[in-house]
Structure 1
Amino acid sequence: MENGLLSDLNENQRAAVEETEGYVRVAAGAGSGKTKVLTRRYVYIAKALGVAPEHILSVTFTNKAAWEMRKRIRSYMPDEDGGWILTFHSACHKILKYEIANLAYPSNFMVLDEEDQKTILQRIYTENGLTLRNFPFKKCLDAIEVYKSQSDYVPFLTDPKRETPAPDLPCAEDKKSMHFVILKYLESQRKNFFLDFADLIQFVLYLFEKEPAVLEKWANKFEYIQIDEFQDVSGEQYKLARRLASKHKNLFIVGDPDQTIYSWRGADVRYFNEFPEKFRGAKTILLDTNYRSTPEILAACNSLISRNTDRLDKRLKAAKSGGERPKYRHERSRTAESDFIAEEIGKLHEAGVPLADIAVLYRGNYMSRAVEEALVRKKIPYTIYSGIAFYQRKEIKDALAYLRLCVFGDDLSFLRTVNVPPRGIGKTRLAALQARAEAQGALLLEALRALHAHPLFKSTKAEQFIAAIDEGKAFLQEHDIADALDFILQRSGYTEYMMLCGNQDRLDNLNELKASVRDFVDSAGEEVNAEDYLNGISLISNADAEEKKDCVKLMTVHTAKGLEFKNVFVCCLNEGLFPSRKIRGKEEMEEERRVAYVAMTRAEDRLYLSDAEGFDAHADGALYTSRFLFDIEKDLLDASGSFSEGHLSRSKSYIQKSELDMGCTPAHANIQIFRAGDKVRHPLFGAGTVQELSGGAYTVLFSGGKTRSIAVSADILIPLYEKKA
């Protein structure tokens, strides 16, 4: 078994698999086989070392990656269910199911996804006269996430007697303040026993700090810990990893600093880069052989990423033989660029390339419109690839809310289902219910149970609604989740309501949901209940729920991370679009360059890069060619297309000014740069002396004592004398 496990690994891959003890950092370039290494190492530890899988924690970045790893492991260990191959959030959820009672908190807590959080906020807004003009939901969710960056608030959620949370919310009495909204959100969580994603990790960290015996138990349990995508861990995840590895000190991390693209989520590449300094005796293994892309594609990728200065120096080398140089196409308009992409896709398909092997990548979702229109014109089928689209569809949210109401009886699910289909329970009756629930500290379902016979509800279908939920609860006790979901939707009248609506797509989606429930039960590897399924759904980014057809895939670069396609088009490579106009500093620009690198390294056989001229409001005006195209050495690209007169020089000038504004050393333009004290001449103002360079402009003192500001990008000054050394 050992020979079969290791025989097809290269030297460095094998070294990584066999390096089981102590602290190990693996710098794994794109396409270098890191999933293979993680999988084989897991099996090696279990088989060659004889360690029970329950003592191996393997953390992945996504649920899809965890599923793929479990699938590969079963080819070596058919009976292994991979119970501890999980994301950070899923692992914390599992630990809390065992241990949250130590915080006097019920183990049947419910995990909120982002849509659930928005529903809570909407209710807070409605009850307190707030609107999105006060605070957009995203701003509130960001503020809540920042507030929960430390675990000090956890006791407020676990102790109903606590009147105020910590850290303090000094403006919470003002209904128009963000602090008020945060407090009401926390109170809603406490009342309903809701946990959001931030809570899952913070509750575990708080539990480990409050109960050292619990930490010792779990640190002792996990003899070996391996973590994928370590370049994207946050401070809380890093802290959790250190604590879990504190007993056995066997921590194996895999990552690629050149693919760190989630700093906006709290990811900090320094945890990967500084690993040898923080963990004494740590070994580093480099995986730099790429098995995905051609040498020509990798040459362009290496050229691009080498422009970043804050990185671990490495160059990917190809295992494949030669192929085509990446194609770069410049067009005179965004429409023409999209037409080029559609035409090239048509040519590839005519040559026998399946459409499913083609992906179009872009920086932001809004960039897909022109490409979509071009594909429609060419009658080329496509899909917008999204990890969460399926579970965000209305009918899916409704169906799951019915199931959740039967399991948890929570207010969110009640409000979503009570009047779908219509049951005559409008705003006035809901207000009465909410007043009753508030007065008695009860949930809305219980309030309706108490009031359904009241004259106010006489003409409604409240009694039938309660009966449907009660029968659904009873049915769940005796049947599996898939049958129960079908029963609940039938008994509540929701299935008939969808049929009367006459939307076949929605009915198809409901059938797909039922099939997914069945798949979940069949693939779980252990007995599961509705509670497990519902919390699992909240944790899943369901990319594989999308229909699989022979069609072109359109997606953002962030969605594409971890995927690969034989043919990749990267479009909209313009300043202000890619890189984004929101970039303000050198570190942000280096991350943006890593995003471009991730996009390019998705390609196996063919890579197409494109940009356009014209005007785009998203770019704040005129379109200039992206600096990332200038980053790549010219002879590495097969370029075509016609530039309008002066476009390249204007693009370089724009980039020059941008780099000066960010405090970067200009890399692409041929504009002469002056320093304070240099003597210069202006064609109109004459001779002068440069006083300073700031904000992309020179301050020049001209003869006669007049001081003027001259834009660097104008490239209008000439040296009067030889510049200072």
Structure 2
Amino acid sequence: LTESAHIKDMLAFFRVLINPWDNLSWNRILLQLEKVGPKTVQRILATLRDADDPLAALAKYRPAPGWKAQFDRLTDTLRRLCLPDQAPADQFDLVMTYYEPVFEKMYHDDYPRRRKELDQVRVLISGYGDLQAFVDDTALDPPDVSGAPVVDGDDEQRLILSTIHSAKGLEWDTVFVIGLAEGRFPHQNTQPGEQYEEERRLLYVAATRAKRELSLTYPKELFTPDRQHLRCAMSPFLREISAGLYNRVERAGAVTQPLTSDYPMDLPPPKPRTTVPTAPGEYAEGMRVSHAFFGLGRVASLPGPRRVEVLFDRHGSKILHLDYARLEIVG
């Protein structure tokens, strides 16, 4: 479905919201403007490429009179798409309002059939709580499980990229689960309770796809859409795994914690860090705390044993495990 031209047109709008420097998606959107050709698009892209905020730079771009009206409609649509507190389905409807007249002209020969496919996308996106997850899932095709033979006949040399949802019910000898960083898995906007546990169940699905070897990975640093470097910590789900159940391997390949499932499990529990309160009861909702990386924040809730949810002034809501988080009570 996502290989159809009209579906790619729609997805391009969502992708530039997630990554405003996505030149391929911008190229697709801008070429839909009447009387705009590749040379004009390249001039616009050069402006966006050097801007700290490509969406703002586009709004300031001066179009020619012949395509100014449609260009203004495009920039207004993008502005409305960036407004806060919108569900992905609402953003789809905004894009469709702009795109439909363009769509009818471009695909007038089989418009009804293509329109039904866009309706299917509307149904799909309604099942997502945030746009990032939808874009991530559409970036990868589901694994081919039709039984068709591999072209070169060497099945062992294949690398399959899949979302967790697409991998349900499938198994492989070796599985790598990537991106297990704090704030990304679970997503930083995940609410304590059922949403949090649903994210945990998704990780369980991913981990149980492996028959022999499982690697759980996280980046130590991310490059954000606004071109800033952001240091990362591992997902709280990984920090909950007992130390005797895994090997920890650094980037260079060195095993820094040579632990396996055969490691004796009757070891005494690790001593809590002296800077961390030993009981959740020492925290209370509304209490001001400080974290070495996230800075100042306020305790929002105590979602579970040894966990505290903190709404940080500059980094939003985070759920921290008290065995690992270095929190200082400041008021």
| TM bin (shorter chain) | 0.3 to 0.5
Q: Which has the higher helix share?
A: 1
- Whichever of the two has the greater Rg, that structure is 1
Give TM-score scaled by structure 2 length: 0.43
Higher relative contact order (CA 8 A, sep 6+): 1
